[in-house]
Homo-oligomer: A and B are copies of this chain.
Amino acid sequence: MTIKVLIADDHQIMREGLRAMLEKEHDIKVLGEAEDGRMIQRMTQELLPDVIIMDVAMPDLNGIEATRQIVAELPGVKIIALSMHDDRRFVLNMLKAGAAGYMLKDCAFKDLAKAIRVVMSHKTYLSHEVADIVVQGYLSSTDPKDPSAFQLLSPREREVLQLLAEGQTSAKIADKLHISVKTVETHRQKIMDKLKTRNIAELTKYAIREGLTST
């Protein structure tokens, strides 16, 4: 029995590459390709695939939203997220939306082929890079809320992070916030623990992604 697959990615060369590789598998048939979330939604209703390979970041309607809507309508369709990012927000939100698998784009194709067969047997497949992210996400999900990585930080921690990312030293931050240098360092340490960063460069990039500061 052949597995019917749809591909959703906003980059045509990526779609064609995936198709070229998938077509080497005898038991897999690629029904079509979509370049955004809205398009994959329509195609899914028409073509009823078994599996969708879904990019997370797409224009118009992103992969997370598309997944949520498709799973709500057609629970039988298995969706495998294929993403460049191992950002925990993407991973956790995608799984919460109902994805049956999450692969990074730097995985091997054979892993993807394997993932397709795994999700077909109603199991979840995660590439090993994201596995521990999910575990930690599960462990820290004592509350049913939306714990975006940003909300991981307390207001004070976000305040400190912003000043750090603006290039201020701990001493200056302490001065500005009227607290001791040691307190600033404690905040910084907690921030780095939570974000799993190890230095100012990574903290700065995180702050930029979260809009706490600009380039």
Contact mask for chain A residues 102-115; partner B; CB cutoff 8 A; 1 contact, 0 none: 01111111001000
Q: Is the CB of B199 within 8 A of A13?
A: no
Copy number in this complex? 2
B interface footprint on A174-215 (CB within 8 Å = 1, 0 otherwise): 000000000000000000000001111111110011000101
Given A202-B167, A204-B205, A17-B12 contact (CB < 8 Å): no
Known: A12-B107, A17-B17. A208 touches B215 (CB 8 A): yes
Interface size class of A (residues with CB under 8 A): 35 or more
Docked CA distance A75–B28 (Å): 43
- Interface with B: A18-26, A40-48, A144-152, which one? A18-26
Specify the chain B residue showing the minimal Cβ separation from A165: B201
**Which of chain B's residues has its CB closest to A209's CB?**
B215
Out of B21, B106, B200, B202, which one reaches A199, CB within 8 Å? Answer: B200
- Shortest Cβ distance from A178 into chain B, in angstroms? 22
Q: How far is the CB of A69 from chain B (nearest CB, A)?
A: 23
Q: Is the CB of A13 within 8 A of B204?
A: no
